[in-house]
Copies of this chain bind each other. A is one copy, B any other.
Amino acid sequence: MSANIIHPVILCGGSGTRLWPKSRKEKPKPFLPLLGTRTLFRAACDRASDPAQFAPPMVVAGAAHIDLIKAQAPPTGLSIIVEPAARNTAPAIALAAARLDPDAIMLVCPSDHHIADEVAFQAAAAAAAKMASAGRLVAFGITPDRPETGYGYIKRGAALDDGFVIERFVEKPDLERAKAFLADGGYAWNGGIFVFRAGQLLEELTIHRPAMADAVLASVQSGREDGICFHPDAAMFEGIEGDSVDYAVMENTQNAAMVPASMGWSDIGDWSALQDALCDGNDASNQAPEKAELVDCSRVMVVSDGPRVSAIGLEDIIIVVDGDEVLVTHRGGTQKVGKLGGASNQ
C-alpha cells in the first residue's frame, strides 16, 4: 500500500439526543439521512473513498449499530472495530491505531458531521497527512464564520509548511470571547477531526495515559476477528477510564499542529444547526417537504416521516414529526431537546 494512503477511522459513538425524536437510541444521528438522501455515516465514508488517497475505512462503533453500519456501508467495503463499551474518543481511536501498521496515517472523523465542500476536506486531509508523516499530531482547524459558543477553539501558533503549530486549545467561550476570537482571525473551531501516524498516537498515549494505552493494547491482543468485525477483549476495555483524545493527547503533546479547513463544516449538533446547514445562507427561508403547507412563515423547518404538516404565522420554529413523537421548538430552545423526557428516557 502506498505510503501516501490515508486510513479513515470513522467514529460512531455519538448518541445525537439533541436531534430527537428523529435520532433515537436504536437508530441514532449518524445513520439518518438528515441532509439529502445519504446518511451522515455514509457521507463520512464517501468523502474519504477515493482509492488514490484513502484506504477502505475502519469504523469504530458499539455492537448495537453493527447491522446499521453493514447496511449503509459503501460498496468498497470497510472493517469494523466493535467497542465493548463507550469510553470516549481516546480509547476508540487507540483501538484503531493498534489495528493499523504503526506507520499508517490515520484520519479520525466523527460519523455524524456535515461537510459541504468535500474537495476542501480532501485537500486538508492531504496537507494534514504530510504533517503527520513528519511527526505532528494534526487537528483540523475549522475556519469560523460566526462567534459560535458551542464549540472548542484552537489558537494557532507559528506557521509550518502545511499548517500551523497549535499554541493552545480553548474551551467553549462565552459570546464576548467568541466575538473576539472571530475578530482576531487566529482561532479556529476544533471539529474533532484528526490526522495521526498510528504508531505516534499510541506512543503519545503511552506517555500521557499509560494505563489507558496498556488496556487498549491488551484488549486488542486478546481480541477476536469475526468476518469484517474485530472484537477487542471486553473485560480489559471496560476497565478503561474514558477520556477524549483532546484531553488525553492533544492538549499534552509537544507535537500538536493544525491544518486550516474551510469546508462548509457543521457538527449538526442540534436542530438549529441542521436548519443552518440546510438553509444555504438564506436565513429567511423555510425548509419543508413538498407536501407541507407553510403560510406566513419564515425560518421554519419541517421534518416529517409521514404526516402532512401545515403551519401558519410561525417564525424561527422547528417542527419534527417522527412516529409517535412530535417536537415543536423555537430555534433558541434546540439545545434543550436532549433533556426532554422523550429524548432522555429511551
- CA A304 – CA B21 in complex, angstroms? 16
Cβ–Cβ contact A342 & B308, under 8 A: yes
Residues A328 and B340 in contact in the complex (CB < 8 Å), given A295-B333, A296-B333, A333-B296: no
Cβ–Cβ contact A328 & B328, under 8 A: yes
Residues 328-341 of A, flagged 1 when their CB comes within 8 A of B and 0 if not, give: 11101110110011
- CA A317 – CA B333 in complex, angstroms? 15
Select A321's contact among B312, B326, B340, B341, beta carbons within 8 Å: B326
Smallest Cβ-Cβ distance to A327: which chain B residue:
B310
Smallest Cβ-Cβ distance to A291: which chain B residue:
B341
Select A326's contact among B309, B330, B334, beta carbons within 8 Å: B309
Does A306 lie at the interface of the complex (its beta carbon under 8 Å from any beta carbon of B)?
yes
- CA A136 – CA B314 in complex, angstroms? 48
- CA A340 – CA B313 in complex, angstroms? 13
Residues of B close to A176: CB separation below 8 A: none
Residues A341 and B296 in contact in the complex (CB < 8 Å), given A319-B326, A326-B321: no
Smallest Cβ-Cβ distance to A318: which chain B residue:
B312
Does A293 lie at the interface of the complex (its beta carbon under 8 Å from any beta carbon of B)?
yes
Residues A326 and B310 in contact in the complex (CB < 8 Å), given A295-B333, A333-B296, A336-B295: yes
Does A67 lie at the interface of the complex (its beta carbon under 8 Å from any beta carbon of B)?
no
Residues A304 and B326 in contact in the complex (CB < 8 Å), given A317-B314, A340-B310, A342-B293: yes
Cβ–Cβ contact A311 & B328, under 8 A: yes
Q: How many residues of A contact B (CB 8 A)?
A: 33
Select A312's contact among B311, B324, B326, B340, beta carbons within 8 Å: B340
Question: A295 → chain B, closest Cβ, in Å?
Answer: 6
Cβ–Cβ contact A324 & B307, under 8 A: yes
Cβ–Cβ contact B329 & A311, under 8 A: yes
Does A184 lie at the interface of the complex (its beta carbon under 8 Å from any beta carbon of B)?
no
Residues of B close to A311: CB separation below 8 A: 327-329
Residues of B close to A327: CB separation below 8 A: 309-312
Does A325 lie at the interface of the complex (its beta carbon under 8 Å from any beta carbon of B)?
yes
Residues 296-309 of A, flagged 1 when their CB comes within 8 A of B and 0 if not, give: 10000000101111
The 23 sampled A-B contact pairs (Cβ below 8 Å) are: A293-B341, A295-B340, A296-B333, A306-B324, A307-B326, A308-B325, A308-B342, A310-B325, A310-B326, A310-B327, A310-B340, A311-B328, A312-B327, A312-B329, A312-B336, A313-B329, A313-B330, A313-B336, A314-B317, A314-B328, A314-B330, A317-B328, A319-B326
For the complex of A and B, the 7 pairs showing the least CB-CB separation, nearest first, are A313-B333, A313-B330, A312-B333, A312-B329, A309-B326, A311-B328, A310-B340
- Apart from A304-B326, A309-B327: 19 A-B pairs, beta carbons within 8 A: A295-B336, A296-B333, A307-B323, A307-B325, A308-B325, A310-B326, A310-B340, A310-B341, A311-B328, A311-B329, A312-B328, A312-B329, A312-B330, A312-B337, A312-B340, A313-B329, A313-B330, A319-B326, A319-B328
What is the interface of chain A, defined by CB distance below 8 A to chain B? Answer: 21, 293, 295-296, 304, 306-314, 317, 319, 321, 323-330, 332-334, 336-337, 340-342
